[in-house]
Amino acid sequence: MNEGVIALIGAGNGGLALLKVLLDIPGVIIKYVCDINPNAAGVLFAKQHNIKFITSYGTILSDGEVNLIFEATGNPDVFKDLSVKKSPEISLIGAEGSRIIYNLLDAYNEINLNLNEYKNNLEQKIIERTEELERTNVELEKEMLEYEKLSHKLQEMNEEKTKYLLYATHQLKAPFAAIQSYVDIMLEGYAGQLSHQTRDIVLKIRERCKMLTNVIKEMLELAKLKSRDAEDMIIERLDITDILAASIQKCKVIAQAKDIKINFKPPLESFYIRGNAKQIDILFTVLIENAINYSADGTEIDVIINKTGASQVSIAVKDHGIGIPEKNIGLIFNEFFRSNNAVEFHNNGTGLGLSIAKEIAEIHHTNIHAESIVGKGSTFSVIFRLA
């Protein structure tokens, strides 16, 4: 129909309504409006839109361009006459069919109008939303700039804190070493014979000195890790099994003192990772020593190494010790944190070991996963990417 030429016969109110609907359809060509009444509503409307008005439909039937006629007179004789006289190339729609077509086209126009209105509303909402997003982006850019400035400032402060900690801890090493030397001199009798009571006090002083020396040592190690000391950042290809075996060997002296057995079965194949040998050794030593310190005498510790997938190796240190309360699992890697049951069981801990292990893990782009049940033990796992 969009490619054809239309003629309308009957220009009363019904014809007018049909004519209006047809004119709203893009591509429709209405060539003739035919009616015996030159003042019919449809005729007057047609003249306003430069549509040719005729009083006899003979012209329509002889026009080879017309291929569709709407008969809207409602007169059966007119429809019958048109049916007989029209050529086979012309389609004819009677009054009843015209009414149906009108309703369909009217509904189409209404839907189209609603769609256009919806489209316009949607476009307006898109414009408003775009403007809102642009304003939000500007605000976010400002906030990000402020955040970057604040982050840079905090980083500078943290670096200054680390430098101060390193300096202060270094300054403490010498006095404590001197105190420990004097204590050893007294215990060995070079300062005269000590009474039993005095000896007990001096022994306690030596134990405290040892503990504080360990704290200083671990604080220095942690400070170096936080400052990413260049010496400790030498990265090379390492056989993880060899380092793990060496760490276990170092810890066996402590384990034997508590009659604790360390179970470790080296894998048949070698697993190579990229990392710093000294730091990896410290990490495993911390985890194994913790397992020993927080396990009862005569128990066992399992050190397990497994390949996970095609490109990773997992190392787990599992004990059957006191365990960690669930509420403290997220806190154990914080500096100087120790749970109450840990303090009661082993009062010489510094609370820095796991912080050091965490720093080393982060330097090697991994993390330590902890699982524990109070009274049944803990498992600490580290996963490395294979080289």
36-58: pLDDT as tens digits: 999 999 999 999 999 999 998 98
Round to whole Å and give the CA distance between 143 and 150.
10
pLDDT exceeds 60 at position 255: yes
The whole-number pLDDT of residue 230 equals 44
User: Is residue 240 predicted with pLDDT exceeding 90?
Assistant: yes
pLDDT single digits (tens) 341-372: 888 888 777 788 898 889 899 989 999 999 99
pLDDT over 90, % of the chain: 34
Report yes or no: 359 and 304 within 8 Å, Cβ to Cβ. Answer: no
Mean pLDDT of 157-161: 69
Q: What H or E segment, with its residue span, contains residue 375?
A: none
- At 35 the pLDDT is 92
Name residue, tokens 């380092």.
Answer: 243
- How does pLDDT run across 79-95, given as a tens digit for each residue? 898 888 988 888 888 87
Distance of alpha carbon 89 from alpha carbon 67, whole angstroms: 6
- Burial class from Cβ neighbours inside 10 Å (0-12, 13-18, 19+) for residue 126 reads exposed
Residue range 218-229: mean pLDDT, rounded: 64
Check: pTM over 0.75? Answer yes or no: no
Distance CA 40, CA 45 (A): 9
Q: Is 7 helix (H, G, I), strand (E, B) or coil?
A: strand
Average pLDDT over residues 136-141: 88
- Enumerate the H helices of the chain as residue ranges: 13-23, 41-48, 58-62, 76-85, 95-187, 196-226, 240-257, 277-293, 340-345, 353-363
Mean pLDDT across the stretch 150-168? 70
Interhelix angle 353-363/196-226, nearest 10 degrees: 20
Confidence at 120, pLDDT banded by 50, 70, 90: confident
Q: Which of 93-107, 170-184, 237-251 has the highest mean pLDDT?
A: 237-251
pLDDT at 167: 59
Helix axes 95-187, 196-226, angle to 10 degrees: 140
Q: What is the pLDDT of residue 348?
A: 74
The DSSP call for residue 227 is T
185 CA to centre of own chain: 61
Return the H-helix or E-strand segment holding 316. strand 312-318
Per-residue pLDDT band at 302 (split at 50, 70, 90): very high
Choose among 186, 182, 169: nearest CA to 227. 169
Q: Tell me, what's the pLDDT at 285? A: 92
Q: Token pair of 124, please?
A: 């307006």
